[in-house]
Amino acid sequence: MAERQARAVPRPSLEHARHVDGFLAHLAVERGLARNSLEAYARDLARFVTHLERSGVHEPATLRPEHLRRFAEKLADEGLGPASRTRTLVAVRRFVRHLLALGVLERDPAEGLLSPRKTQRLPRVLQATETEALLASAAGEDGPLGLRDRAMLEVLYGAGLRVTELISLPLAGLDRRAGCLRVRGKGGRERIVPLGEPALTALETWLAEGRPQFARAAKRPSDAVFLSRRGTSMTRQNFFVRLRLLAQRVGMARERVSPHVLRHSFATDLLEGGADLRAVQAMLGHADLTTTQIYTHVSNKRLRETVDRHHPRGARRPGGRSRTP
């Protein structure tokens, strides 16, 4: 059965494979895309090329608009959500532009191809009291494990880092005198992020009292700020498990908490505190301001909930007018 299924999937032609490999190399070298982004492009283009092979299209030069339209319809038929379909079609469009630049195609077969409409989902965030409860949960554990977890949470929330940036942070990336971090983000772009006093204090305590104990267990020395109990650099999975455990201890639903939720909370709390949108963009490492602007919608939503809950004429107060039709 497995052999029949394997034979049912056509192997990509050398021409398709050659051009896809060249495009991915272009993204890696000239555009500086991160590994995760390259892997996503590779998966999306593999799906596209498989569709072309099954449709009898073995040469990129023979691509026509109807081939792309049928591919978009196939994605919808397979039940992919609007966001996944949009991402896949973006990869295909950029691949097609690459073929146009090489002269493989004379006309753009993606012209007029519509992206599926998608509703913009607001990021999940924590209330300030929930964030404090998580930090207190980490601080309540004795020994180097508690010191590490507290420091990781303080830095994650205090600097708005991505989890990959957090676990790969080197000792050389910490400027204690200036009180900031030098972070290497997506596409290898570096940025400077300031740290508040709680995060700096937690870091200093971990580096002085906790990290040396874990470092002694290592077979090879590591320059990572945050270590596992074996003295190796922390992994995404390890930190994710620790974060969920801390959430469980304070009675929070495990699915509500993730490293990215804390990053969202960092951005939203900054904006609610009056921070400039451009400053938040720089600290988050967003290449495009529109990516950061979504947090203004989150901030407005939370402000509205505050009015509803606490204002004498709020929708949830006696005498307040409900907006539920």
Active-site annotation, residues: 162, 186, 260, 263, 286, 295
Looking up tokens 């272009």, which residue turns up? 26
Query: Which residue's entry shows tokens 């929708």?
Result: 315
Q: Count Cβ atoms below 10 Å from residue 14 Cβ, excluding itself.
A: 9
Cα(82)–Cα(260) distance, integer angstroms: 21
Neighbours of 52 (CB within 10 A): 22
Residues with Cβ within 8 Å of 170's Cβ and at least 6 positions away in sequence, in order, are 223, 224, 225
SS3 11: coil
**Cα torsion through 90, 94, 100, 101, rounded to 10:** 160
> Position 121: which residue type?
R
Decide: helix, strand or coil at residue 61.
helix
Tokens of 310: 């606490």
SS3 (DSSP) at 148:
helix
Q: How many CB atoms lie within 10 A of CB 223?
A: 10
Match 């339209």 to its residue by tokens. Answer: 69
